[in-house]
Amino acid sequence: MAYFSNGTEGEVLEMQCDDCPLGGSSCPVHGIHMIYNYDQVDDDQKKLREAMNMLVSEKGVCEVRKQILDNVTRTSTTTDTEEETT
């Protein structure tokens, strides 16, 4: 997970939360980030860092939000196509 050393850097993730269906504080990714952000940089936390990187990339992109929005887009496109054929 991208490491955010302060609140300003963390705004990268917060901005993504603003338009995510899961929302900020109710999202497990957001919660994990809030709890473990600083712990992940410790030398003995390699596994934690690897797991967190699966949720938020080193560039700060929330992979869960990306999956949700991609799925919503696919579902919407499929529904639109089905309506056109009926």
The domain in which residue 81 lies consists of: 7-85
Q: The tokens of 37 are what?
A: 């952000």
* Identity of the amino acid at 12: V
Percent of the chain with pLDDT over 70: 80
Confirm whether 1 is domain-assigned: no
What is the value of pTM for the model shown?
A: 0.65
Confirm whether 70 is domain-assigned: yes
Q: What is the dihedral of CA 79, 68, 11, 29, to 10 degrees?
A: 160
Confirm whether 81 is domain-assigned: yes
Tell me the C-alpha distance between 45 and 25, whole Å: 24
Could you give phi then psi for residue 43, rounded to 5 degrees?
A: -55, -35
Tell me the C-alpha distance between 83 and 79, whole Å: 6
Number of domains comprising the chain: 1
pLDDT (tens digit per residue) in 17-59: 888 888 767 788 888 888 887 888 888 988 988 888 888 888 8
